[in-house]
C-alpha cells in the first residue's frame, strides 16, 4: 500500500497528537530498518498502522479479544495492552493487510514477545524513541539504538517495567519473558 493512502486511513482512527506520534514512529522505523537491514516498506506500513486500534472503545476491544481467542490473560492486565493484538486483527479485517510479519509487528508492539523478529524489534524500539517521546531515559535508548538494536530494546523494556513497578502496577508476563530472553541472548 502507498504511504499516502495508508496515512489517510490511519489519520481517521487517531487524534492529532497520536497521528503526529505515528509519523514519528514511521520516520524512526524507516531509519532503523535501513540501519539494521530490515525491509523498509514493511517497517513503514507496520509503523503507520501500529496504533490503529488505540481509540477503539474498551468494550469493542475486549469483545474482539474473546471472539478471536486472543490470550485471555490480557483481559486481567492493563487495558493499554489491548490495542496491539486488536490492532493487528482490525488492520487485517478493515484495511486488508495480510502480511503476517507486518501483523506480528503490530500485534507485539506493546507487550513484546520471546524471539522477536528484526521487524518486531524495529517497530517496538521506534515506538519508544520517536522524536515526540520525552520521558526520562529516552535519550540513552536513542543513542544505543544507533549501534545496538537488542540493547535498545532491553533498555526500553527495562524502563517500561520499572515505570509500571514504581506505580504499583502489574507487569504483563510476556513483557518480562521478552526482557529475560533478550538478556539471556546478549553476547
Ligand atoms: O501506544 P503507545 O502509547 O504509543 O505505546 P505502547 O503501545 O508501547 O503502550 C505502552 C503503554 O502500555 C505504556 O504506557 C505502558 C503500558 N503498559 C501497561 N502494562 C504494560 C505496558 N507495557 C508493557 N510493555 N507491558 C506491560 O505489562
Ligand atoms: Fe501502541
Ligand atoms: Fe511500545
Ligand atoms: Fe505507539
CA of 127 to the centre of ligand 4 (A): 5
Pocket of ligand 1, candidates 17, 78, 159: which has the most ligand atoms within 8 Å of its Cβ, to mutate?
Answer: 78
CB 116 within 8 A of CB 178: yes
Report the nearest atom of ligand 1 relative to the CA of 25.
Answer: 4
**pLDDT > 80? residue 167:** yes
**Atom 6 of ligand 1, residue of closest alpha carbon:** 110
Helices 138-145 & 118-129, crossing angle to 10 degrees? 140
DSSP sequence for 90-130? HIIIII----HHHHHHHHTTTT--TT--HHHHHHHHHHHHS
Q: What is the share, in percent, of the chain residues with pLDDT greater than 70?
A: 100
CA of 121 to the centre of ligand 2 (A): 14
d(CA 77, CA 82): 9
User: Could you read off the pLDDT of 90-135 as tens digits, one per residue?
Assistant: 999 999 999 999 999 999 999 999 999 999 999 999 999 999 999 8
Look at domain 3-134 and name its CATH class. mainly alpha
* Predicted interface score ipTM higher than 0.90: yes
Cα 10 → chain centroid: 15
* Helices and strands in the chain: count of H runs, count of E runs: 10, 0
- CB-defined site of ligand 1, < 6 Å: 21, 51, 54, 78, 80-81, 84, 109-111, 127, 160, 164, 171-172, 175
Domain ranges of the chain: 3-134
Report the nearest atom of ligand 1 relative to the CA of 51.
Answer: 1
Q: State which residues have CB under 5 angstroms from ligand 3, the bound ion.
A: 127
Pocket of ligand 1, candidates 46, 74, 80: which has the most ligand atoms within 8 Å of its Cβ, to mutate?
Answer: 80
The pLDDT, as a whole number, for residue 187 is 74
**pLDDT > 90? residue 147:** yes
Amino acid at each position: 500500500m502507498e504511504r499516502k493512502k495508508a496515512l489517510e486511513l490511519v489519520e481517521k482512527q487517531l487524534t492529532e497528537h497520536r497521528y503526529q506520534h505515528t509519523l514519528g514512529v514511521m520516520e524512526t522505523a524507516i531509519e532503523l530498518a535501513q540501519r539494521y537491514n530490515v525491509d523498509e516498506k514493511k517497517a513503514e506500513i507496520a509503523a503507520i498502522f501500529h496504533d490503529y486500534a488505540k481509540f477503539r472503545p474498551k468494550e469493542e476491544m475486549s469483545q474482539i479479544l474473546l471472539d478471536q481467542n486472543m490470550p485471555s490473560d490480557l483481559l486481567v492486565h492493563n487495558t493499554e495492552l489491548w490495542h496491539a493484538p486488536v490492532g493487528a486483527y482490525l488492520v487485517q479485517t478493515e484495511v486488508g493487510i495480510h502480511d503476517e510479519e507486518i501483523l506480528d509487528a503490530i500485534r507485539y508492539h506493546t507487550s513484546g514477545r520471546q524471539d522477536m523478529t528484526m521487524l518486531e524489534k524495529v517497530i517496538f524500539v521506534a515506538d519508544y524513541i520517536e522524536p515526540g517521546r520525552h520521558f526520562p531515559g529516552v535519550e540513552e535508548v536513542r543513542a544505543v539504538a544507533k549501534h545496538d538494536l537488542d540493547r535498545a530494546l532491553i533498555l526500553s523494556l527495562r524502563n517500561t517495567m520499572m515505570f509500571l513497578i514504581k506505580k504499583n502496577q502489574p507487569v504483563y508476563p510476556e513483557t518480562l519473558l521478552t526482557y529475560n530472553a533478550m538478556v539471556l541472548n546478549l553476547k
